[in-house]
């Protein structure tokens, strides 16, 4: 009987990965994204990063709060990362903030964003716009130079 | 316990070791087999697709045959770009997620020139594209198609890169990204096969465990049948069973009998007799322990048969061992109650060359004759059987 229970538990644990849909799925993609955003925010700002993500999801909050100080409103933040497709152009007009997005189209169409991190053909891509970096008086380290575009 | 059971344990261990090695070998073979099957299935299932893609690439080069600068012409000619994108769009299926054309700018950055994707995922003209590996640059050197197997990317499985050459130089890259579905379908077949093989191995292992358990059980029962419960040495059954297995050329055969054992039983009772038998067997076994090949058998009553392995380097070993047994028993005080102990002696007859007899029992008879002489010579001594006469040791 003891052997049967051990066997049953072993099989159950071996295949437990298949049942993770029963709980909130931990998204590796969000984790990777959060680390990249942390790196970008840290090289862009010379103070402690206070991040605001409009319409943040629960799983994003769980992942981001581990490495960021998240703010509930845009006013209290110094780095705004806009992920939604919604029109956030009127959001938080304060000029002493850095705006970043996950949408390349948004980056091209709205000059308040100084850069974007997005998935292109399922691969992570980063773009910074040179003129906007200059406007914000941002100078990125050497390893970020390959991502700067002169658009 | 030596000889027979020792050997069977060794055989069991050897058997288990061989079977374990075989199982490990099969397990590794399964892994290797999986890789071979995987490679072959990939090859078979992608060969047609890759041929179609290669033909499309050739067709694109043909379309650009009049062009002096592929990049500039595609950038400036919207109609040409649209035509190329239509050709790329045809390639996109359930398994091919993306089809696009890249160029490398003067700073070595890859940029989109045409994209077969629909509006939502469509890349802009000249949009920067961060490649995920240095292999992409190798295509410019090798000037040959390359297949990249993705292990990190979440939704892509394979990327097929075809260089589009102009004046024997790579000018553009045509790229096809296979979705995970392709690999998932292939993997489901492979996992099914792999699980089948592992299942067979598990069933085999299960049966093997049952066989081993049965063997151990059988050995235990066999051991019980061949061991004397009182003295814990072999019994007569063992001798009968192995009479043909014991090579008499390698042993001397001795018969040991406890002197006046009947008197001990009559005077102190059978329980004391049992103590004497048990202790005597212990002393004999302990004295013989220097050589694991020696065999002690309780032949019956107070009589023991001792096979002592001969030594080429030490011809007198049998007599020396028997002398030690004789002395050890004679010098031992057999405790028969909390306060009382008695001394006993044994008589021993030895046949130094049992192999000269026709069989074990004839050899035993000769040793028994020597024992008879020992008994008649005042007991507590060893007699050697020699043809027509016994020699006192």
- Which pLDDT value is given to residue B34? 72
- Tens of pLDDT along chain A (151 residues) come to 666 667 767 766 666 655 554 455 557 778 888 999 999 999 888 889 999 998 898 989 999 999 999 998 888 899 999 987 666 655 776 668 899 999 998 899 888 899 999 988 888 899 999 999 999 888 888 888 989 998 7
Give the best residue of B118, B130, B137 to mutate against chain A (max A CB count within 10 A).
B130
Judged by a CB distance cut-off of 8 A, whether residue B198 touches chain A is: no
Q: Is the overall model pTM greater than 0.95, yes or no? A: no
Closest CA to B321 of B354, B366, B286: B286
CB contact under 8 A, B98 and A122: yes
Question: Which is higher by pLDDT, B43 or B155?
Answer: B43
Tell me the shortest Cα–Cα distance from B97 to chain A, in angstroms.
Answer: 8
Lowest mean pLDDT among B10-19, B161-170, B240-249, B300-309: B10-19
Q: How many Cβ atoms sit within 10 Å of the Cβ of residue B120?
A: 5
Q: What is the pLDDT of residues B285-297, one digit of tens each?
A: 999 855 568 999 9
User: CA B262, CA B303: separation in Å to the nearest integer?
Assistant: 12
Do the Cβ atoms of A125 and B129 come within 8 Å?
yes
A122 touching B (Cβ < 8 Å): yes
Whether residue B4 is predicted with pLDDT greater than 80 in this model: the reply is no
| Interatomic CA distance for residues B135 and B90, integer angstroms | 26
Mean pLDDT of B112-140: 90
DSSP B2: -
Looking at residue A92, what is its pLDDT?
73
Mean pLDDT of chain B: 87
Distance in Å, alpha carbon of B218 to nearest chain A alpha carbon: 24
Contact B129 A104 (CB under 8 A): no
**Residue B305 near residue B239 (C-beta atoms within 8 A):** yes
Two tokens, residue B224: 């019980």
Question: What is the per-residue pLDDT across B227-245, written as a single tens digit (0 to 9) for each?
Answer: 999 999 999 999 998 888 8
- Give residue B86's pLDDT: 93
CB-based contact A121 B131, cutoff 8 Å: no
Q: Exposed, middle or buried, A96 (CB in 10 Å: 0-12/13-18/19+)?
A: exposed
End-to-end C-alpha distance for chain A, whole angstroms: 71
The per-residue pLDDT for B23 is: 76
- How far is B127 from chain A, CA to nearest CA, in Å? 9
Q: Distance between CA B116 and CA B122 in Å, rounded?
A: 7
Does B134 contact chain A (CB < 8 Å)? no
pLDDT at A4: 60
Q: Using one digit for the tens of pLDDT, what is the confidence trace for B258-267? A: 999 999 999 9
Q: Contact A104/B127, CB-based, under 8 Å?
A: yes
| pLDDT (mean) for B5-28 | 72
Give the DSSP letter string of B108-167. S-EEEEEE-S-GGGPPPTT-B---S-THHHHHHHH-S-EEEE-SS-SSEEEEEEEEEEET
- Active-site residue flag, B302: yes
Judged by a CB distance cut-off of 8 A, whether residue A65 touches chain B is no
Catalytic residue among B32, B86, B142, B302: B302
Q: Residue B183 has what pLDDT?
A: 67
State the pLDDT at residue A123: 87
Give the model confidence (pLDDT) of B62-83 as tens digits.
Answer: 989 888 899 999 999 999 999 9
Asked if the model's pLDDT at residue B278 lies above 80, the reply is yes
Return all residues near B134 (Cβ < 8 A) that are at least 6 apart.
none
**Predicted confidence (pLDDT) per residue in B340-381, tens digit:** 999 999 999 999 999 999 999 999 999 999 999 999 999 999
Q: What backbone torsions phi and psi does residue A64 show, to the nearest 5 degrees? A: -65, -35
B149 phi and psi, to 5 degrees? -95, 115
Give the list of residues 6+ apart from residue B6 with CB closer than 8 angstroms, or none: B292
Asked if A149 has any chain B CB less than 8 Å from its own CB, the reply is yes
Cα–Cα distance for residue pair A125/B338, rounded to 1 Å: 93
Binary contact (B130, A124; C-beta < 8 A): yes
If one compares B1 and B35, the residue with the highest pLDDT of the two is B35
For residue B313 the two structure tokens come to 């380097």
Closest chain B C-alpha to A76 CA, distance in angstroms: 33
Answer whether A29 touches B (CB < 8 Å).
yes
Phi-psi region at B109: left, alpha or beta (left = phi > 0; alpha = psi -120 to 50):
beta
Name which of B109, B124, B155 is nearest A122 (Cβ-Cβ): B155
pLDDT of residue B1: 45
């Amino acid at each position: 009987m003891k052997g049967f229970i051990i066997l049953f538990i072993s099989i159950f644990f071996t295949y437990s990965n298949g049942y993770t849909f029963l709980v909130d799925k931990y998204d590796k993609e969000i984790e990777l994204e959060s680390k990249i955003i942390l790196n970008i925010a840290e090289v862009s700002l010379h103070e402690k990063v206070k991040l605001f993500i409009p319409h943040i999801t629960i799983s994003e909050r769980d992942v981001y709060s581990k490495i960021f100080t998240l703010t509930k409103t845009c006013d209290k933040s110094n780095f705004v990362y806009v992920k939604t497709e919604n029109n956030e152009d009127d959001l938080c007009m304060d000029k002493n903030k850095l705006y970043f997005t996950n949408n390349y189209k948004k980056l091209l169409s709205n000059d308040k964003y100084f850069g974007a991190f997005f998935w292109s053909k399922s691969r992570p891509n980063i773009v910074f716009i040179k003129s906007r970096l200059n406007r914000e008086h941002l100078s990125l380290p050497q390893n970020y130079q390959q991502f700067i575009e002169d658009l | 316990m030596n000889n027979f059971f020792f050997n069977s344990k060794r055989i069991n261990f050897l058997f288990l070791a061989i079977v374990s090695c075989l199982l490990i070998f099969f397990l590794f073979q399964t892994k290797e087999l999986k890789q071979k099957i995987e490679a072959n299935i990939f090859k078979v299932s992608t060969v047609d697709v890759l041929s179609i893609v290669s033909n499309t690439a050739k067709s694109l080069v043909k379309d650009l045959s009049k062009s002096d600068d592929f990049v500039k012409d595609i950038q400036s000619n919207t109609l040409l770009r649209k035509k190329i994108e239509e050709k790329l769009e045809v390639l996109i299926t359930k398994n091919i997620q993306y089809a696009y054309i890249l160029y490398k700018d003067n700073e070595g950055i890859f940029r989109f020139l045409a994209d077969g994707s629909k509006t939502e995922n469509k890349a802009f003209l000249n949009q920067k594209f961060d490649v995920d590996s240095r292999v992409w640059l190798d295509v410019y050197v090798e000037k040959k198609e390359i297949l990249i197997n993705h292990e990190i990317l979440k939704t892509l499985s394979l990327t097929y890169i075809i260089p589009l050459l102009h004046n024997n130089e790579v000018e553009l890259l045509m790229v096809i990204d296979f979705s995970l579905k392709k690999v998932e379908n292939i993997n489901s077949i492979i996992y099914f096969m792999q699980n089948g093989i592992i299942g067979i191995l598990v069933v085999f292992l299960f049966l093997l465990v049952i066989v081993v358990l049965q063997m151990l059980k059988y050995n235990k029962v066999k051991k019980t049948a061949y061991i004397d419960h009182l003295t814990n040495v072999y019994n007569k059954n063992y001798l009968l069973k192995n009479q043909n297995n014991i090579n008499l050329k390698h042993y001397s055969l001795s018969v040991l009998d406890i002197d006046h054992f009947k008197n001990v039983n009559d005077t102190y009772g059978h329980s004391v007799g049992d103590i004497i038998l048990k202790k005597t067997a212990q002393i004999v076994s302990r004295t013989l322990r220097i050589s694991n090949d020696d065999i002690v058998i309780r032949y019956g009553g107070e009589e023991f048969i001792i096979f002592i392995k001969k030594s080429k380097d030490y011809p007198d070993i049998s007599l020396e061992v028997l002398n030690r047994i004789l002395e050890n028993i004679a010098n031992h005080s057999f405790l028969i109650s909390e306060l009382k102990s008695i001394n006993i002696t044994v008589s021993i007859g030895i046949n130094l060359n049992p192999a000269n007899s026709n069989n074990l029992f004839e050899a035993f008879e000769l040793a028994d004759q020597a024992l008879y002489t020992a008994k008649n010579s005042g007991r507590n001594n060893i007699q050697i059987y020699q043809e027509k006469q016994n020699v006192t040791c």
